[in-house]
Amino acid sequence: MSHAKGSIVQQTHPTRKNRFVILAIAGLVTAAGVTRATPASIEDVFNVPDRPSLNFYGTPGLMDMPSAEVMPDGQIAIGVSSFGGNTRTTLSFQATPRLSASFRYTTIKDLNLRGFEDFRDRSFDLRYLINKESRIWPAVSVGLQDFAGTGIYSGEYIVATKNFSGGRLPGKIKVTGGLGWGRLGSSGAIGSPFGGPRPPFEEGSTGGEPSVDQWFRGPAAPFAGIEWQINEKWGVKAEYSSDAYEQETQIGNVFTRKSRFNFGAEYQYTDRIRIGAYYMYGSEFGVNFQFQASPIRPPTPVRATPARPLQLRPSRASNPAAWGTDWITEPGAPAGLAEAMKPRLEAEGLELEALQVTAARAELRLRNHRYATTTLAIGRAARVMARSLPASVETFRIVIVENNLPQSTVTMRRSDLEALEFDPQASDALLAVSGITAASPDLPGAVRNDDLYPDFAWSIGPYVSQSYFDPDEPLRVDAGVKATATFKPGPGWEIGGTVRHRLFGNISDSDRLSNSVLPRVRTDSVLYSRGSDTVLANLYVAKQWKPGNDVYARVTAGYLERMFGGVSGEVLWKPVASRLALGVEANYVKQRDFSGLGFQDYSIATGHASAYYEFGNGYHGQLDVGRYLAGDVGATLTLSREFANGWKVGGFFTLTDVSAEEFGEGSFDKGINVTIPVSWFLGTPSKRSVSTTIRPIQRDGGARLSVPGRLYEQVRGGHLNALEDNWSGVWQ
């Protein structure tokens, strides 16, 4: 019964020392550890395809050459490779089953190109699987490498890969062949099938724009390779490279290219980590570290302490008295029920806001302090209601309230809950008979929880802020302590502030001051960093409320962020069952001093009209049109994919009326966002997440104000789509 995957995993017993190395890596801590041998493996049960090995560009492939393979849907990969002075760090994301995107940071030692001794550059790739491998046909992919950078790696390819297994050799053999253009067509070209010549990258241009006129133009060269995955642990690779490394070997003297052939051996260290050693171009030794993880399957399954089984009512026949409705006529009955429910809710990480009861119906409004997945809160609230309310109450209405914003009304019949808890299709059956509808702004005649206000909360902890891709020092870090406090005097009101004190760091050491011709709304970050060790990151007063069933509003004033202060107002329209949401935000802000509480002269009215759309299956789009901080007018498009466990990976770009020359390096603003839920690491429920935005370069064009408490993300989690996707949480 022992399946290959399971049994191999069981044989993995890294030494104690190595174990700590893995655990340290990436803080993806528990990621590395939990692989269990079970007879029916997790991969088989959830039908997870095999992960391909990565090449030196951090995408599926051999060494320098790509293959046609795709990573499993949703996979996130980090590749770090180095040979002959070329070091590449790549983050890749399989955004859909066929489309993947990569972002890369490169250092080429001693290239002496464009005035830099060590050349450092960012690049983006896109790959698309045209044909899935079948019994006869190979997988075929097309790719654009470095399609919008300064072009040093730019190349296009079409590639085919076929798997062979089951012959006399053990394991699996993958044979790859393809045709490359640009960099991948620089050695052994066979002509220009789509015409030429290929226009060169213009020295001195700002880069960053899709180089459409270059794609698939100029000479094309064939490349090929073979990978033999001997067993679950070991694999060997050989390739014929079509990359001449012209700039590195002819213009610069980075290394000597003596051969077109590369060879390597790779070892699968854990389920997620693979390491390789290579002999490159007949002269250089190379290494490649590959990390792959899936946000779909967490390293540790999320474990919430289960709720107790739903309490049943006595049957009406055996105990008719328990079904009486006289209780409702007793004065103070609703208040008594609310008091009884409070501690029971509290034990589940929930807090009662209001309770409205009649003889047959109850509406409970509550806050969820514990569960990132709203359905867990709903299921636990339903159980508390079943335990606490008299038998005659048949209809439960549950409304989760986030910071004074009632999200949606989930209506369930108590008898359905009683009948379906152990049903073979418990989750789908309950969803079919539950209603998810709009929540009214207020609940008249309800018993309210008087303990909610005033509410004061604080926290003190460390902070780290990073600055990426400075040509002199690719990663700069500041670290110190941060104190945050919020005071809520009444419903929807919040006074909040954050003070940071830097203990050490090197962001302010940078001598690359702004050369921007636009108002310096973002590029003065080094001056802000130099300004003071202790900073007031923000201090504001905010009020948010629901003016209507489907409308949400917010007003915020104060020091909104490190660089700007002022007033901000936002209105959002988001019906519970709608995939579309529309919002408007208007701000008037003044630029803050580099240190202290004062302001500089620059002020601006900035704001956007936004459309948000849920495409389904976790794909989200957002379009913001308006005026940006530097006074430029344009639009930002954001596309992201959110997984049910809260992982979110997205990309955005902004085009405004600022020209590429005015904008400076990169030509326009773009970047990627990654959000990782804390529960993914811990395996215990938590509402917290860690987010980061990485831009190839931060300039002043297309810059948006950063306001605390924007509305959309606050309400979306409690609406129809999010609830349906995670509905089984009601029973867990």
Q: How far is the CB of 408 from another protein (least distance, A)?
A: 17
Stretch binding another protein (CB under 8 A), from 138-146, 238-246, 623-631, 642-650: 642-650
- Residue 629 or 676 having the CB closest to another protein: 676
| Subset of residues 435 to 494 that bind another protein, contact rule: CB under 8 A | 455-464, 466, 474-475, 477, 479, 482
Q: How far is the CB of 98 from another protein (least distance, A)?
A: 19
Q: How far is the CB of 32 from another protein (least distance, A)?
A: 8
| Subset of residues 289 to 308 that bind another protein, contact rule: CB under 8 A | 289, 296-298, 300-306, 308
CB pairs under 8 A, 24+ apart, for 690-695? 692/466, 694/103, 694/468, 695/468, 695/669, 695/670, 695/671
Both structure tokens of 657: 């009326």
Neighbours of 353 (CB within 10 A): 20
Among 690, 693, 706, 713, binds another protein (CB under 8 A): 690
3-state secondary structure of 240: strand
Q: How far is the CB of 58 from another protein (least distance, A)?
A: 13
- Residue 36 or 168 having the CB closest to another protein: 36
Residues 6+ apart with CB under 8 A from 454: 487, 488, 489, 490
Among 38, 192, 247, 603, binds another protein (CB under 8 A): 38
Both structure tokens of 581: 């949401």
Q: Write the CA distances from 519 to 48, 387, 524, 604, 663, integer angstroms.
A: 50, 61, 10, 10, 11
Residue with tokens 């504001």: 540
Q: Are the C-beta atoms of residues 139 and 133 closer than 8 Å to each other? A: yes
Residue with tokens 């609230």: 381
Q: How far is the CB of 391 from another protein (least distance, A)?
A: 17
Q: How far is the CB of 686 from another protein (least distance, A)?
A: 3
Tell me phi and psi for residue 191, to 5 degrees. 120, 180
Both structure tokens of 18: 């190595």
- Residue 10 or 231 having the CB closest to another protein: 10
Measured CA angle at 76 (ends 673, 37), to 5 deg: 140
34 makes contact with another protein (CB under 8 A): yes
Residues 390-429, one symbol each (x = binds another protein by CB under 8 A, - = not), give -----------------------------xxxxxxxxxx-
Residues 527-546, one symbol each (x = binds another protein by CB under 8 A, - = not), give --------------------
- Residue 700 or 725 having the CB closest to another protein: 725
268 makes contact with another protein (CB under 8 A): no
Q: How far is the CB of 426 from another protein (least distance, A)?
A: 4
Residues 315-354, one symbol each (x = binds another protein by CB under 8 A, - = not), give ----------------------------------x-----
- Residue 45 or 317 having the CB closest to another protein: 45
| Cα(324)–Cα(418) distance, integer angstroms | 19
106 makes contact with another protein (CB under 8 A): no
Q: How far is the CB of 233 from another protein (least distance, A)?
A: 17
What DSSP letter does each residue of 628-676 carry, written as one string?
-TTS-EEEEEEEEEE-TTS-EEEEEEEEESS-HHHH-TTSSEEEEEEEE
Tell me, by CB under 8 A, how many residues bind another protein.
Answer: 98
| Cα(592)–Cα(607) distance, integer angstroms | 18
- Residue 306 or 320 having the CB closest to another protein: 306
| Subset of residues 59 to 98 that bind another protein, contact rule: CB under 8 A | 80, 82, 87, 89
| Cα(597)–Cα(667) distance, integer angstroms | 33
501 makes contact with another protein (CB under 8 A): no
